[in-house]
Structures are given as structure tokens and as C-alpha cells.
């Protein structure tokens, strides 16, 4: 049975399902949720006019991370579970894998949006990359 479980959590319904799955399936494990700030997403927001000043992207990203972590800890508390949270910056798949390697994680749980075709080609699949490259078990919830 895993001792340290890492859940990729971005606040989406699929990540909520992944968190619930981890809590229910590994009740005795220490569970950590990870949210990854991807600077590329912030550049896209700036280019699209979503942010007033390019220099404020990190502040906005940190506020979003706090909001998402609060959502995750609230969901865990509803299930009488304590949740550790961590925010990393970088490419999501790489950040998840590096965190798992550096923190003795023995199970990763994450949601998959199930994209296919051109969406998958253009957007890639974080879940697929993590599953392929992880040296520990990965559970993908859809």
C-alpha cells in the first residue's frame, strides 16, 4: 500500500475525482496535491489581453494557486482527510515527475481529460507523459 500519494490537482472536476479517489483508495497514506503554474499559460493570457500588465502574471498565477489549494483542502476536509499542498512552476508533467522523485512519492493519481485527435496533438497529454515516464505507479481517473 502506498505511503505517500501525489495528486495532480488543478481544481477541475476530473482533478476533484482524482483527489476523491486517492482519499478513498489510500485512506492511510499521506496525500499531497500538486498544482503546477505553467508560465506558458500566463504568456498566452497576456497575449490574449487577459492580464493588464505582463509583470503581474506571477501574482495572478499565485492567487489562482491559492484558490485551487483551498478548494482541494476543503474537499479533503469534507472527507475527514488532511491534505498537504504544493505549488511548482514549470511544465506540468515534468514538475509532477520531479516532485515525485524528490519527495519519495510511491503513487501518483491524476485526472485525464481524454483528449484525442488534433486536440491531443496540439495540447499534449500531461497524464500520458506522466504515465509513460514515471518510475512509480500512476492511476489515471477519467
User: What mean pLDDT is predicted for residues 107-134?
Assistant: 77
Higher-confidence residue of 58 and 27: namely 27
d(CA 70, CA 64): 10
Provide the whole-model pTM: 0.87
pLDDT at 122: 45
Q: Which of 12-21, 42-51, 127-136 has the lowest mean pLDDT?
A: 42-51
pLDDT at 37 exceeding the cut of 90:
yes
- The pLDDT assigned to 58 comes to 80
- Alpha-carbon separation of residue 34 from 46, 66, 73 (angstroms): 24, 11, 12
**Per-residue model confidence (pLDDT) at position 117:** 56
If we measure between CA atoms, which residue out of 127, 130, 137 comes closest to residue 14? 127
Tell me the CATH number of domain 4-141, given options 3.40.50.1580, 3.40.50.620, 3.30.43.10, 1.10.3300.10. Answer: 3.40.50.620
Give the confidence band of 39 by pLDDT, cuts at 50, 70, 90: confident
- The secondary element (H helix, E strand) that includes residue 30 is strand 30-37
Residue pair 39/89 in contact (Cβ under 8 Å)? The answer is yes
Residues paired with 34 in a beta bridge: 8, 86
Helix ranges (DSSP H) in the chain = 13-25, 39-47, 57-78, 92-102, 117-123, 126-133
Question: What mean pLDDT comes out for the span 48-70?
Answer: 77
Please give the average per-residue pLDDT across 74-87, as a whole number: 98
Amino acid at each position: 500500500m502506498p505511503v505517500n500519494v501525489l495528486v495532480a490537482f488543478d481544481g477541475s472536476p476530473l482533478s476533484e475525482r482524482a483527489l476523491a479517489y486517492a482519499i478513498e483508495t489510500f485512506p492511510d497514506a499521506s496525500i499531497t496535491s500538486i498544482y503546477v503554474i505553467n508560465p506558458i499559460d500566463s504568456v498566452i493570457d497576456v497575449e490574449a489581453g487577459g492580464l493588464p500588465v505582463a509583470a503581474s502574471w506571477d501574482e495572478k498565477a499565485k492567487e489562482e494557486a491559492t484558490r485551487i489549494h483551498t478548494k482541494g483542502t476543503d474537499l479533503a476536509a469534507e472527507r475527514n482527510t488532511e491534505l498537504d499542498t504544493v505549488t511548482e512552476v514549470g511544465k506540468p508533467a515534468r514538475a509532477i515527475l520531479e516532485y515525485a522523485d524528490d519527495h519519495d512519492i510511491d503513487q501518483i493519481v491524476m485526472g485525464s481529460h481524454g483528449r484525442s485527435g488534433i486536440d491531443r496533438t496540439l495540447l499534449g497529454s500531461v497524464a500520458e507523459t506522466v504515465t509513460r515516464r514515471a518510475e512509480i505507479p500512476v492511476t489515471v481517473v477519467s
